[in-house]
Amino acid sequence: MKLKKLLKDLDVTIKGSKEVEVTGISSHSQFVSPGSLFVAKKGKTFDGHEFISKAIETGAVAIVTDCYNPFLQGVTQIITTDADRLEALLAKRYYSAKSHSLYLIGITGTNGKTTTAYLIQHLLPTFGLMGTIETIIGKDRFPAQLTTSDVVTNHKTLYEMGEKGLKGAVMEVTSHALDQNRVEEIPFDLGIFTNFSQDHLDYHKTMESYLAAKLKLFAKCKEKIYNLDDPALNALSGGMTFGLHSEADLVAKNIATTLSGTTFDLHYQNKCVLVKSPLIGDYNVYNVLAAFAAALKKGEKLHTLIKRLETFPGIPGRLERIDNALGIHLFVDFAHTPEALEKVLATLHHLKTGKIITVFGCGGERDQDKRPQMGKAVEKYSDTLIITSDNPRSEEPIEICNAIKQGVAGPALIEVDRRAAIERALFMAKENDLVLIAGRGHESHQKIKGRQIPFDDRVVAQELSQLTEARKNG
């Protein structure tokens, strides 16, 4: 696309040729290729202006910047006071041809975003998915690089979905993405707010700021769906609602859960129908209700959704059962907030046939106030607690573990080495006991001292269960 077409009627100052051909847009210098337009902007950690020279060397033909540099030769400079806003506008123009025809659903909330997104994508088979685990475009699947990608990548992905002939897309939208303008100029048709509880206060500082960031999604949507049971959300008005204990549009009652799944009565538009879900727990009933509400908004029939739900294959690392020959119930789950841990453990406690052993930790360089709260939440429903490393990043793992232990009234084991902690739990477990490995779910690497170390809880648990069986029988 010609630069002059890309910049038409935009309030910017242009220094250099408008006739150059733009072959792509990026605010990351490592993704620049010949013909790219490079957006130099200040982020939370890096200043893109420091990478302008590298971008030009790699082949950038135009630069978005906040200040004209007369010493830059052979490149067009686009001067703006709001690079974030301009980047979103340019991405929308460059990739708009197909994405405007998509029906777009955005999901925010502290917990449940991933499960709800996967459910919607299963219930609406012609939809793509942009999530924290992966991006799904038709039959193609791509591992996620960030919890929510940058604004250009988001527009590009939507364009690719349109090119593939998809009818819509469902996207997980984090508070960081909303606060950092990573979903600007994306025309959401529907927004979903799953729930709200403490997380990310290292970034947002207060619960009020955190909630305000989340609620930005609804300002971008034509319609909204939210959890009427959540105290932070029940003051909202309009839209479609769901819940268990409220006068919502979709209400679940008579919930019955086993280790194989959940059944409940769904009350909707003066009708009551039985729903069978392969997902475990009351908290997953909320996710099913949210997904049903979205699909109903799109025009699907309720009886069709109920039938499709029964074939839902599950989500990687979300209360994922690990097969083993130890005679125990072994699960890996992503729960990494006090509320999420309490909910998943409350469900498992209700279903247990033996003792519950929980292996968990807390991420470094994140909200430190929640660490003792996580210890308290886990102790409430666990017989044995093994505190270990999660993703400590630059922090000392033992300090994080000690902070978690401060919230535990009784005994708790600390084993900093996560592999050793899992092995210890498996060796301690007796037949019919339940072992939960929490906090990392689908993640394939641990973040330790600036390094990405291969470590997948599911793979490690499978491997160690086999070794433990041999050890116990030997």
User: What are the pLDDT digits (tens) for 203-240?
Assistant: 767 878 888 888 889 999 999 999 999 999 988 999 99
Angle at 182 between CA 193 and CA 134, to 5 degrees: 70
Name the DSSP class of 20: P
Determine, yes or no, domain membership for 87.
no
First to last CA, the chain: 68
Determine, yes or no, domain membership for 195.
yes
Where does a domain end: 309, 335, 367? 309
- % of the chain exceeding 90 in pLDDT: 86
Residues 175, 117 share a domain: yes
Tally the domains of the chain: 3
Determine, yes or no, domain membership for 89.
no
Q: Which residues span the domain enclosing 348?
A: 320-473
Determine, yes or no, domain membership for 304.
yes
pLDDT tens string 331-367: 999 999 999 999 999 999 999 999 999 999 999 999 9
Residues 101, 75 share a domain: no
Q: Which helix (H) or strand (E) holds 137?
A: strand 134-137
293 pLDDT exceeds 90? yes
Inter-axis angle of helices 282-297 and 113-123, nearest 10: 50
Distance CA 394, CA 148 (A): 23
Q: What is the CATH number of the domain that holds 188?
A: 3.40.1190.10
Relative to beta strand 250-258, strand 127-130 is unpaired
Stretch 179-200: mean pLDDT, rounded? 88
Q: What is the CATH number of the domain that holds 418?
A: 3.90.190.20
Residues 136, 279 share a domain: yes
Q: Which helix (H) or strand (E) holds 4?
A: helix 3-6
Determine, yes or no, domain membership for 86.
no
Distance CA 380, CA 370 (A): 15
Residues 368, 245 share a domain: no
How buried is residue 82: exposed, middle or buried, by Cβ count under 10 Å (0-12/13-18/19+)? middle
Residues 335, 204 share a domain: no
Residues 304, 364 share a domain: no
Where does a domain end: 309, 328, 349? 309
Residues 107, 185 share a domain: yes
Mean pLDDT, the chain, whole residue set: 94
Residues 104, 65 share a domain: no
Residues 68, 152 share a domain: no
Please report which residue ranges of 164-235 form alpha helices under DSSP H. 175-179, 201-204, 207-219
Distance CA 58, CA 229 (A): 52
Q: Can you give the pLDDT at residue 177?
A: 86
201 pLDDT exceeds 70? no
* Type of residue at 254: N
Residues 162, 103 share a domain: yes
Residues 305, 336 share a domain: no
Contact 362/325 with Cβ under 8 angstroms? no
Q: What is the CATH number of the domain that holds 55?
A: 3.40.1390.10
Where does a domain end: 279, 309, 339? 309
89 vs 9, 74, 94, 151, 163, CA distance in Å?
Answer: 11, 24, 9, 10, 20
Stretch 24-47: mean pLDDT, rounded? 91
97 pLDDT exceeds 60? no
98 pLDDT exceeds 60? no
269 pLDDT exceeds 80? yes
- In this prediction the pTM is 0.90
pLDDT tens string 385-422: 999 999 999 999 999 999 999 999 999 999 999 999 99
42 pLDDT exceeds 70? yes
Q: Can you give the pLDDT at residue 100?
A: 66
Q: Can you give the pLDDT at residue 357?
A: 99
pLDDT tens string 420-465: 999 999 999 999 999 999 999 999 999 999 999 999 999 999 999 9
Residues 168, 63 share a domain: no
60 vs 12, 51, 54, 63, 366, CA distance in Å?
Answer: 19, 11, 9, 7, 36
